[in-house]
Amino acid sequence: MYLILALKPPNDYVFVTEKKSWPDAQKHCREHYTDLASIQSEEVNKNLSGLIGDVSAWIGLSRDMWKWSDGSPFTFRAWQVGRPSNPRGKEDCTYYQNHGWADNWCSELKAFVCESGKKVQVVKITMKTSSPHEMEDPAIQAAMAEQIRQRLQNEGQQVSGVTWRRQADGKVFHEQKNKEAKKKQKNKSEL
């Protein structure tokens, strides 16, 4: 079995005052920095207030299964009272204002917050397991990601999060075939 995971460095943020729609803000952040901001703690949430003041600004959270644009886990929440509410329908994107989050149409023009140029590092890990089916259990994946994060931090790596990268088939883990098995499979397909 092997997996691919993304190691996310600690966040630094850039406030962009130019107003854009959420998709355009995301595109800008991905082209010039890393991605729209993902907020993983109360400390970071408070720090954004010092960065942007009382301006409303897009962050990287969308109603697409309520997940962060950069794929990091959605565990911390700082919704304003009564939000997300979606009163006008299709309020699928999230903005930050006055220490809290609210939902709005993605087409609205707002300033936005990007994560700085620190890149996500993608790592491929090979492992042996006796029960490959259990590896797709989200609880097991979360526990493994936390153990990997802690081990990397113990080794002096600055990592704020570990996330699994899903492949096109939706799976995180894939069985690794050795060279001989691949050769046999190729020969079968040639027959």
Task: Give the H or E element holding residue 48.
Answer: helix 42-52
At 8 the pLDDT is 52
At 43 the pLDDT is 87
Domain coordinates in residue numbering, the chain: 11-115, 120-190
Burial string for 137-173 (b: 16+ CB within 10 Å, else e) reads eeeebeebbeebbeeeeeeeeebbbbbbeeeeeeebb
At 137 the pLDDT is 82
Q: Which CATH superfamily is domain 11-115 in?
A: Mannose-Binding Protein A, subunit A (3.10.100.10)
At 172 the pLDDT is 74
Helix, coil or strand: residue 114: strand
Rounded to whole angstroms, the Cα distance separating 17 from 134 reads 46
> One digit per residue, pLDDT tens: the chain, 191 residues?
444 444 555 568 899 999 999 999 999 998 888 899 999 889 889 888 888 988 999 999 998 778 898 888 888 999 999 898 887 778 899 999 988 999 999 999 999 999 885 555 666 677 777 777 777 788 888 888 788 878 877 777 666 667 776 666 777 777 766 655 555 555 555 55
